[in-house]
Chains A and B, each alone.
Chain A
Amino acid sequence: MKKDTFSGFHPVVNMLYFVFVIGFAMILNHPLYLGVSLVSAVIYSIYLKGKKGIRFQLLCLLPLMIITMLLNPLFSHQGVTILTYFPNGNPLTLESILYGIAAAVVLITIITWFGCFNEIMTSDKIIYLFGRVIPALSLVLTMALRFVPRFLSQIKQITNARKCIGQGVQEGSMRKRIRHGIKILSVLVMRSMEHSVDTADSMKNRGYGLPGRTEFSIYYFDRRDKYVLVFLLLCGAGIIAGLVSGSLKFLYYPAFGSVILKGTQNVFYIAYVLLCLLPLFINVKEDLKWKSLNRVSPFKT
């Protein structure tokens, strides 16, 4: 992971940010809001993951988006603008296509945001936030979140080790290959089970979740956290106000509503744009500062 300044903020700030962006991505359906959320999620994901992020976007999410997009008009025939008719006699409407696109955008936006969430909200942050409130659940959660990447790295290790003794999945007849594959899987399962039992025992021995147990954490809630938190709360409150007042409501059916924002809607929109782009602002600002400091650094000359 690239050095990310936003992840250095207090876990409460990180968590609140993701609660807001993911929650609003689910609730808001105005096309402009969807667009902003999608763009900032994709940029942030690429910023965090680099080349891997781009590959994931193109190979996994783009096809997923296209499939989701195409499915809606096949099953929904609502809408005032009839383009043509399906062979069975139901109409293909412009509104159903647009709604399909919107639903697909929501889906991949949320997946992308969760990808960022995984990068930022490491297990220690989750334990820090929820360890005292819901100890068992947060432990399970961190273990589960850790499970897939651990599995992947271990499978690599075991495969390499088996290859060294001539029992890799590429060697021998079909039957042997299958046998080798099963062996790798069995080792993998055994190892991860043992590991989870170890973890559970270890946490128990340390008195995890017991009353009166103190915890060490490296997190400080300093001034910049305060500013960002206030900013987040203001943006969030503004958007929630917009939602409650109903001015963020957007209709796809029966007729596609007007995309143009009017009056106070612009205020809500600006709040949403700032909210979504917040980590990028922080990171870019920090990067620029780092560069400018380097330029005048006496050590470099």
Chain B
Amino acid sequence: MFDRAGVSFFSDSSDKYNVLHKEIEIARNIQSMLLNARLPEFDGGEVTGISIPARLIGGDYFDFYPLPNGKLRIVIGDVMGKGIPAAMLMILTRGAFRSASESIKGPGETLRSMNNAIENDLRALRSFVTLFCADWDPKSRTLSYANAGHNLPLLIRKKETVTLPKVPGIMLGGLPNQEYKECQIKLNDDEYVFFYTDGIIDAQDMDGNQFKLRRLLQVLQKHDYRNVKELENKVFESIYQFTKGAPQRDDMTMVIFKVTNEKNSDLTDSP
């Protein structure tokens, strides 16, 4: 924005505002494209994800990574803060995730590798990232997962909706040399796993009342949806009915995974 002599290229503040506005729009498009890339097709399930930033761009993150062994890796995360600073660290997190997933065996090792890669940067920038990482194995119909300080996803079964069994692990950027334990759960046809960030349950109406987990559970438990996209729409519908046009205070992100018995020939597509 300045030449070598330190003289501004902008003739007045409105030029500066216009350039800044345009750059933010471009950043928003970049982030949106990275987050909303093609959904993966894989054996034994369907998945969808969406992120709605509170500001023009946000710090929430989700991603899918089809592994060469036929498994699908899913990640969801939340960078401390909001807006442009959080978005920059979200891109850093995405790079670390994709790079780790190239060579890393499981979700626990992925989080360990990511923490090793970005812990120093996050500490220097006084920030942190919470992440939940899971591998779906269509052969054994097992979801293996590890957690770095993120809220636990919800498992939606016919008769109940429960949180996935707890697995320990602290945020990325909190402490160096962290190990992340893994947990496994067997899933059956038509069961859903609902991954989310706290912006969903902390959504507020005009009086400051929060949507809360109990309202989310009510929507999930109704089972008046047939697939992941329909459930995603139902959740947002319910949140917007509750907030009644109050300004969104935090980024809202959800990833919904459903187990099916369908086979996909596209399984080995590289990301």
Asked if A and B are interacting partners, one says no
Residues of A within 8 A of B (CB): none
